[in-house]
Structure 1
Amino acid sequence: MSQISEKRHFSHRLRDTNSAFLPARPAGTAPIRVGFILQPHFSMMAFTAAVDAVVTANLVQATPLFTFTTFGLNATTVRSDLAIDISANATLDQLVLEGDNALDVLIVCGGFRCNLSEHGPLSQVLKAAAKRQKVLGGLWNGAVALAHAGVLDRLSCALHPDNHAFARERFPSVEVSTHTMMVEARILTSAGPNSALEMMLALIERLHGTDTVRAIREILSSDRVANDGENRLATAEDDPTMPDALRSLLRLMSSNIEEPLGIEELADYVGLSRRRIERLFQNHLETTPSRYYLELRITHARRLLLQSSDSISSIAVACGFVSSTHFSHCFKDFFGVSPSQARQQKRG
């Protein structure tokens, strides 16, 4: 078993998985306020993809990074492209751009059947937002509203292909890109649901760094299709960027949580020397085999602790710890609280 150190920190791969449960960082600025303007017949898939990125960003950190508000143009009930009525939080005339509750990011949500004519009040809001240096975005054909407001002049934008001809004819000073997503200094546009998610991740990375985005991706891409076309849950041992030998080692570790294998046993199974295994872990995971194995087991224990009613002693045994005391000390080293405190906080 690994010895307990005074303080432990997760290596980069498992840090993402556990980021929401780690001790909170020192208090910083207030959460970024994001406003979504829902046009009639907006794309539900594009909207929910964008919102999912924001909500998941809050889930992977101990303190909220974003808040979001939805706005209807003239009413608080807006019909989506799926003929599902969505209740917005407020109407366009209630949108705040100055003061304590001012929005930082404003995103126009379009859709296949959205009206492409200019909406005067929306243009005024977008012009005022641009003047105040707010970040503006458009989903599907939301960039058309930005173009009507004049905030896309001499910039590139992404639009759904069905709207390219219209935009090129109507807005000659705007470059309509063939890319699915465009990120300018303060303007972000996307052409559909998949690129809506990527657009928001680009914004989140700009604001909160690659670690946060990597943690979001780990949650949202857990069911991605493998290279061989097979639909299966994504795990570290399926990462095609890692050598086959390392992936075999990770599979062995994942399959032997309750009774961890020693490094010599791992070496025998894969036919590699101990030194070669240590180099593989250092080069690709920036940690040692024993350290990764411990992080893997403590992550498994955290999931059991917070998602089941099993006793702490049973969880300790199931995750390969020599005693519940050893497990409790190790858990607190990583997460800053004891297992019982973590469980109480989760229930609270």
Structure 2
Amino acid sequence: MLKHIDHTYDARKVLPDHVKPVQLDNKRHFSQLLRETNRAFLPDSGTTATIKRVGFILPEHFSMMAFTAAVDALVTANLVHSEPLFNFSTYGIKANKVRSDLGIEISTDGALGEIKPAFMGGFDLLIVCGGYRCSMAENSVLSSVLKSAAKSETIFAGIWNGAIPLAYAGLMDDVRCALHPDNHAFMRERFQSVAVTDNTLEIGSKVVTSAGPASALEMMLQLIDRLQGRDIMRAIREILSCDQVAEQGSNKLNGNTDNPAMPQNLQDIIQLMRSNIEDPLGIDDLVACIGISRRQIERLFQNHLDTSPGRYYLELRITHARRLLIQSNASVTDVALACGFVTSSHFSNCFKDYFGFSPTHVRERYRNSLS
């Protein structure tokens, strides 16, 4: 039976006797994995992000599933950052309303036939979202728009068979291309200079293509990494890829620490920590449960997570507290106790050190954002 221990964080409990605790300033920073989990609630870094413009070109019968996967990544990017990172617009080819493959008609921000082709060159990213029943014939208006935009620094992307309009515009010559298998024969016959591959995703410097809805999300994550940085991409992946089915067919939800590359001992320790949030375990308890030395545990955390066991445990508890605060009506005192803190004042101080605001303020700010 595990002994009851003091719930307050003490660096001395997770460091060997000969190592002095690191003296921290009043502001603490989450280690990488948990920083991604909490990014949407962290204070402004002080740097102003450049908003990237994204345009979606939607032919008749475009894949709604692929389109929403791509848009969801952009919307989530704006949610995990204190300031907007992307704005996006949608365009039909001939009309302001476009019918999707589901028979659902959506209103767009404009029709390409009513827009000067040079206008589209102002986008950082232009995406042609195809679909199973999209026409394979060239559309002169679309080709003109794409050719004009190609004179700028715009990045182009094709989803499903969205690469075919890019090929008509001459943007796919000698470029590796991913597209839906049903369209491989047509692309190879009609555009012999295009390097069609069997991959679900192809990332080029100027053109990015994906073969369908499932790969559309990954394509957007790669593009967001390029346009706004890896930290933003990882934060989005943490939110949107939690139910991604692994190759071995596992149907277990993925967490940000569910990395099969991590040593099994480290995975076991983290799982122990997750399972003991209200009554945190001491380092000696972890040693007894896992069967390896204190020093080995410290090395695992330092080598793979770039932090100490105690610091990581505290971050898990603070993250758990943040979730309870915004998802329940429990008092700050009850949240503190549920996360292993002896007093609400100590909890509030730790919480503010990480998030820059008190627990009550974070809760109110989150609820105000929903209204």
TM-score (structure 2 length as normaliser): 0.88
Quick one: which of 261, 271, 278 aligns to 1:251? 271
Task: Work out whether residues 328 and 338 of structure 1, in 8 Å CA contact, stay in contact via their aligned partners in 2.
Answer: yes
1:47 and 2:67 aligned: yes
Corresponding residue of 2:241: 221
Task: Work out whether residues 157 and 207 of structure 2, in 8 Å CA contact, stay in contact via their aligned partners in 1.
Answer: yes
Instruction: Give the counterpart letter for 2:162 in structure 1.
Output: G
CA RMSD of aligned residues (A): 2.1
How far residue 101 of structure 1 moved from its aligned partner, in angstroms, is 10
Match runs of 1:244-283 below 5 Å = 244-283=264-303
How far residue 294 of structure 1 moved from its aligned partner, in angstroms, is 0.3
1:181 and 2:201 aligned: yes
Corresponding residue of 2:179: 159
Alignment length, in residue pairs?
348
How far residue 86 of structure 1 moved from its aligned partner, in angstroms, is 2.1
Instruction: Give the counterpart letter for 2:85 in structure 1.
Output: L
Corresponding residue of 2:33: 13
Task: Work out whether residues 32 and 65 of structure 1, in 8 Å CA contact, stay in contact via their aligned partners in 2.
Answer: yes
Whole-angstrom distance in 2 between the partners of 1:211 and 1:327: 27
Whole-angstrom distance in 2 between the partners of 1:99 and 1:40: 22
Report the secondary structure of 1:2's partner residue: coil
Structure possessing the higher relative contact order (Cα contacts under 8 Å, 6 or more residues apart): 2
Match runs of 1:104-183 below 5 Å = 104-183=124-203
1:201 and 2:221 aligned: yes
Quick one: which of 340, 343, 347 aligns to 2:363? 343
Report the secondary structure of 1:90's partner residue: coil
Corresponding residue of 2:102: 82
How far residue 27 of structure 1 moved from its aligned partner, in angstroms, is 3.6
Task: Work out whether residues 37 and 106 of structure 1, in 8 Å CA contact, stay in contact via their aligned partners in 2.
Answer: yes
Quick one: which of 335, 341, 352 aligns to 1:321? 341
CA distance change for structure 1 residues 8 and 234 in 2, over 3 Å: closer, same or farther? same
Whole-angstrom distance in 2 between the partners of 1:341 and 1:313: 15
1:36 and 2:56 aligned: yes
Bigger mean CA offset, 327-336 vs 94-103: 94-103
Whole-angstrom distance in 1 between the partners of 2:342 and 2:109: 52
Task: Work out whether residues 71 and 92 of structure 1, in 8 Å CA contact, stay in contact via their aligned partners in 2.
Answer: yes
Large movers: runs of 4+ above 6 Å: 96-101
CA distance change for structure 1 residues 179 and 233 in 2, over 3 Å: closer, same or farther? closer
Identical pairs, percent? 58
CA distance change for structure 1 residues 94 and 17 in 2, over 3 Å: closer, same or farther? farther
Structure 2: gaps spanning 5 or more residues? 1-7, 11-23
Task: Work out whether residues 237 and 251 of structure 1, in 8 Å CA contact, stay in contact via their aligned partners in 2.
Answer: no
Task: Work out whether residues 110 and 142 of structure 1, in 8 Å CA contact, stay in contact via their aligned partners in 2.
Answer: yes
Provide, for residues 116-167 of structure 1, a one-character-per-residue CA deviation record: whole Å limited to 9, x for no partner.
Answer: 1111111111011101221111111111111111222232222212112212
How far residue 97 of structure 1 moved from its aligned partner, in angstroms, is 7.0
Corresponding residue of 1:2: 9
CA distance change for structure 1 residues 178 and 38 in 2, over 3 Å: closer, same or farther? same
Whole-angstrom distance in 2 between the partners of 1:26 and 1:101: 30
How far residue 174 of structure 1 moved from its aligned partner, in angstroms, is 2.4
Provide, for residues 75-108 of structure 1, a one-character-per-residue CA deviation record: whole Å limited to 9, x for no partner.
Answer: 2221111222222222224557768993221111
Task: Work out whether residues 33 and 257 of structure 2, in 8 Å CA contact, stay in contact via their aligned partners in 1.
Answer: no
Structure 1: gaps spanning 5 or more residues? none
CA distance change for structure 1 residues 6 and 241 in 2, over 3 Å: closer, same or farther? same
Whole-angstrom distance in 2 between the partners of 1:127 and 1:134: 11
Instruction: Give the counterpart letter for 2:9 in structure 1.
Output: S
CA distance change for structure 1 residues 239 and 227 in 2, over 3 Å: closer, same or farther? farther
Corresponding residue of 1:60: 80
Instruction: Give the counterpart letter for 2:287 in structure 1.
Output: A
How far residue 30 of structure 1 moved from its aligned partner, in angstroms, is 3.0
